[in-house]
Amino acid sequence: MPETKKIPLEFFTQAPEVQAALQQLADRFDEPGPSHNYKKLIVSDTLDAEGHQYVHLVQEGGGVLGVALVGYTYILEKVGIRFMRLAGTSAGAINTTLLAVVKEDRSRNCTSSERILEYLCEKPFFDFVDGHPFARKLIRWIIKTEHFARRIKNAGLILGITLAVLVLTDIAATGLRHLYPVFHGIAIASYILTGLALLCIGLVAGYGSYLLQRLKNRGFGINPGDNFTEWIKMIMADNGVHNIDDLEAVAGKVPAGLHIRNVEHDRQLGGDPTKGLQPDITLITSDIITQNKIEFPRMWNLFRENKHDIHPAEFVRASMSIPIFFESHIIRNIPRDLPIIQTHWKEHLLMEPADIPTAVRFVDGGVLSNFPINILYNPEITIPRLPTLGIELDDATPADNTINLADNLSLGAYLGKLFNTVRYYYDKDFLLKNSLFRKGIGVIHVHEYNWLDFNISHEKQRELFVLGAQAAARFLLEDFNWEEYKTARIIVHQQVNSSQKNLRGVSDILTKTRK
C-alpha cells in the first residue's frame, strides 16, 4: 500500500548527509561572524537589498525523481541564492512553478524549497495514479516487481510452449486413441486443458482490447491526472494565484533593492545596470497536433481570447503529461476564426489561419525539450550580470563502452534509445553550439531509482532529496566559478559579434562604474 502518514520537514532537511553538505559549504565560504553566513560565496553580480544573489535556473524533467530537484534548490537557497528567470519541463516544470508561486516564509525563516517540501510531505504520490482501480493495482504490481518485462516475457514463453505441447498432445492422442484405449482418457484431458488455455488467452485478449479502447477514449492515458491538477490548484490558491494574471504577477515581481555589484557592467545598458532584469517562468509542453513546442504562460493566447478562460494549473498539467501513463491534456474549441487568435498563431508559430486547429493535445514537454536551457539565453548581453544554472537528472545506467552495444540491443532498448535520441537532440544541439553553458549545469545521478515509482517510500524520497543536496554542494564547491563563467561569456560574445574574431578587443567593451 502507498504510504499516507504525514512526515515532518526535518525528516529531509535534518538528514545527516544534508547537514554535512551545508557544513562543507560553511567551512569554505563563511566569513567571521554568525555561522553559516556563506558570505565568501560569489555566484552572481546581481543582488537584492538583503544580499541574496540571483541566477537564472532551468530544471530537467524526470517523474518522481523531481524530489532530487527540491534537494538541489534547497541547498542553493540556504546559501543565499535566489532565482530570476525560471524554466522547466515535466517534474522540472512542477518545481519551477512552485518556486515561483510558493514564496519563502520570513516569519519562520523558511525558504521556498522548504515550503515546497512541506507540501510534498503532505501528499502521497500514489494519489496521482488516479485511473481505474485495476490499473492502479497493475501499476503498483509492476513497480514492485523486479525485472517485470523479463518476467512477462518468460511467462509468455512458458504459456506458448505449454499451449504447443497441449496441441501436439491433442493431435497425437486423437490419432492413437482408436489403437490404444489409454489415449482416449489422455485425449479428453488434453482437450479440456487446451480449451481452458485458449479460454484464458481469449479472456486476456478480450480484456486487453477493452482496456485499449478505454485507453483510446481517455486520451491514450491510464490516469486522468485530475488529482494532480487539483493539487496544483490548491497550492496556487493557498498562495494567492487564481488565474494567469496572478501567476504572472507573483512570478514577475522584481526583488526589492535589486542592484549590480560594484564591478564592470555592459556599456549598452546605459545608466541602468539592472535594465531588462525581469523575473518570469516558462513551462514546456509538446503539442502533438501541430507538432510544436509550446511555452506557457507566454503562449496562452494561442488557445483563448480571454486569459481567465484557462487556469494556470493547466500549464503544469500539460507539461507533465507522461505519454500513456497520464492522459493527454486537451484544449478544445479554439476560436480559430478570430483575427486576434490568428495573429497570435502567426507571431508565435508562423502558422497561417488555415492551419490553426480547433483543438490541441499536449503530452509531456520532455518529448521535445526536457532541458530547455536555450530559452534563458540572451545574446544581446555582452557582460553577464548573473549566470544561467541548470539541474540535470541523470537516470542512465553507466554503460561499459568497451562492449559493442550497437550489435546487442534488445527491441525495448532499441526503441528506448531511438526515443531518447529524438527527445534530447534539441537541447543537446544548443549545448553543443553554446558549450560554455555547461559550466552552469549541475548533475544529480539517480540511475538507481525508478522515475515512475509513484509508490516510492519516504526513505527513498529522502535519499533522492539527499542526492540533490549533495549534487548542489558539489557544484558550488568544485564545479562553478563565477569569474571564469563570466569571462567565458564575454569572450564568446566577442567572437560571435566580431567579424575579425579579434579577442584583444574584449577589454574595450567594458566600462567601469562606481556607485
Instruction: Write out the E strands in 25-155.
Output: 46-47, 53-59, 81-89
| Residue of 108, 106, 98 lying closest to 70 (CA atoms) | 98
Residue whose entry in the numeric block shows the C-alpha cell 567551512: 27
- CA separation for the pair 366, 88 (Å, rounded): 10
Question: Which one of 364, 395, 427, 453 is the catalytic residue?
Answer: 364
Residues contacting 232, CB < 8 A, separation 6+: 94, 97, 313, 316, 317
Q: Is 58 helix (H, G, I), strand (E, B) or coil?
A: strand
Residue 91 burial class via C-beta count within 10 angstroms: exposed 0-12, middle 13-18, buried 19 and up:
buried
Residue 260 burial class via C-beta count within 10 angstroms: exposed 0-12, middle 13-18, buried 19 and up:
buried
Q: Is 364 a catalytic residue?
A: yes
| Residue of 446, 438, 453 lying closest to 468 (CA atoms) | 446
| Residue of 60, 25, 38, 46 lying closest to 392 (CA atoms) | 60
| Residue of 397, 449, 391 lying closest to 65 (CA atoms) | 449
C-alpha cell at 196: 481452458
CA angle 441, 444, 445 (to 5 degrees): 130
C-alpha cell at 96: 519551477
| Residue of 21, 107, 112 lying closest to 473 (CA atoms) | 21
Query: Residue 465's Cα: distance from chain center in Å?
Result: 15
Q: What share of the chain is helix, strand, coil (3-state, %, to 5)?
A: 55, 15, 35
Q: Is 209 a catalytic residue?
A: no
* Residues 449/67, Cβ–Cβ less than 8 Å: no
Query: Residue 70's Cα: distance from chain center in Å?
Result: 12
Question: Which one of 44, 90, 112, 190 is the catalytic residue?
Answer: 90
- CA separation for the pair 83, 105 (Å, rounded): 16
Catalytic residues: 90, 364
